[in-house]
Amino acid sequence: MDSQAEDYTESMYNHKEVFYRYPLRLVHGIPLMEPIAQQWDPIENFQARPDDLLISTYPKAGTTWMQEIVDLILARGDVEKARRAPTYIRIPFLEICSPPPVPSGVSYLVNAPSPRVIKTHLPFQLVPKSFWENNCKVIYVARNAKDNVVSYFFFDQMNVTQPEPGPWEGYIKKFMEGKVAWGSWYDHVRRYWDEKEKHKILYVFYEDMKEDLAQEVRRVMNFLEVDLPEEIVQKIVHHTSFQVMKDNPMANYSSVPDCIFDKAKGKFMRKGEVGDWKNYFTVAQKEAFDADYKLKMKGTTLHFRDELSSGLRP
């Protein structure tokens, strides 16, 4: 790890007092954690470089999985190189902010050498303009709404810097109303879908990654213009499987202190499945969710699969 990365990690451990369940504040109409709202200017004015690669997702859609895939592709399958530091150091989180003195994502990124790979959860309209002005490549990962909300619910229990999720019934309602951090899932996935032809956006589905990871790895390689032999592709597929990533301390977030991710309340690498929502939605909740979904997703050509046995995406 470079010394700046070490400082970053150390400051999280040394300033435990600044972490608590931050309230959400609206930034251009989008609810974001209070420290992000308070330090919004440097995020909005962030200077992208033409060779930056942005990995964008709605929270819990498979960000970390894509980060590991991209890092391994760029390392040409060198697993040791990909273990040089935890995910959040290798691929910094653009908008993440804690109260000072913990450094922000931006403060870490401005000094990072090119080419940078950057993570964001910002909806399209809040992504700093310089990314579009510089025609940067963006990989967007989307996950079906029901598995996404289940994953977010459990994450909000263990991530003790996010608002208290409360009971499941109320949480689904908050998700449907977009009253969770980073706002409406529906608007997020739709807007990137609508913008993908106008910008260099590769749109990837979590469900496709689960179904045929090698194929999605090849799509990402193609987008990044990296050519690797099939045996390296298979190596990347192996090292980015749920089973291997969950035991990799550089990819499973186990290095984040308990004052941020309370490991007694859950694991970051929870289940990694498609269709897990069936274990949590009641029949009535599913019906209400599906009816509301139809309204919110009306008119889009974007379709998700919420189980893998249902065949190809329509």
Among 22, 65, 108, 185, binds ligand A3P (CB under 6 A): 65
Among 64, 120, 144, 162, binds ligand A3P (CB under 6 A): 64
Query: Residue 98 or 120: which CB sits closer to ligand A3P?
Result: 120
DSSP string, 266-293: --SS----SSGGGGT--HHHHHHHHHHH
> Does residue 190 interact with ligand A3P by CB under 6 A?
no
**Residue 239 designated active-site:** no
Geometric angle at alpha carbon 232, from 229 and 236, rounded to 5°: 140
Phi, psi angles (nearest 5°) of residue 167: -70, 155
Query: Residue 15 or 168: which CB sits closer to ligand A3P?
Result: 168
Query: Residue 17 or 240: which CB sits closer to ligand A3P?
Result: 240
Q: CA-CA distance, 313 to 203, in Å (whole number)?
A: 14
Q: CA-CA distance, 154 to 157, in Å (whole number)?
A: 5
Total residues contacting ligand A3P by CB under 6 A comes to 20
Least CB distance to ligand A3P at residue 100 (A):
25
Query: Residue 147 or 208: which CB sits closer to ligand A3P?
Result: 147
| Token pair in block for residue 69 | 């895939």
**x/- letters, 249..288, toward ligand A3P (CB under 6 A):** --------------------xxxx---x------------
What residues between 207 and 246 interact with ligand A3P by CB under 6 A?
A: 240-242, 245
| Token pair in block for residue 174 | 């908050």
> Does residue 123 interact with ligand A3P by CB under 6 A?
no
Q: Measure CA of the first residue to CA of the last residue in the chain; give whole Å.
A: 45
Query: Residue 14 or 241: which CB sits closer to ligand A3P?
Result: 241
Q: Are 224 and 74 in contact (CB under 8 A)?
A: yes
3-state secondary structure of 137: strand
Residue recorded with tokens 């913990």: 102
> Does residue 44 interact with ligand A3P by CB under 6 A?
no
Query: Residue 211 or 292: which CB sits closer to ligand A3P?
Result: 211
Cβ neighbours of 263 (radius 10 Å):
13
Ranked by CB distance to ligand A3P, the top (closest) residue is 272
What residues between 137 and 156 interact with ligand A3P by CB under 6 A?
A: 147, 151, 154
Q: CA-CA distance, 183 to 32, in Å (whole number)?
A: 8
CB contact burial 12-31 (16+ within 10 A = b; e otherwise): beebeebbeebebeebeebb
Least CB distance to ligand A3P at residue 242 (A):
4
Least CB distance to ligand A3P at residue 59 (A):
6
Q: Which residues bind ligand A3P (CB under 6 A)?
A: 57, 59-65, 147, 151, 154, 240-242, 245, 269-272, 276
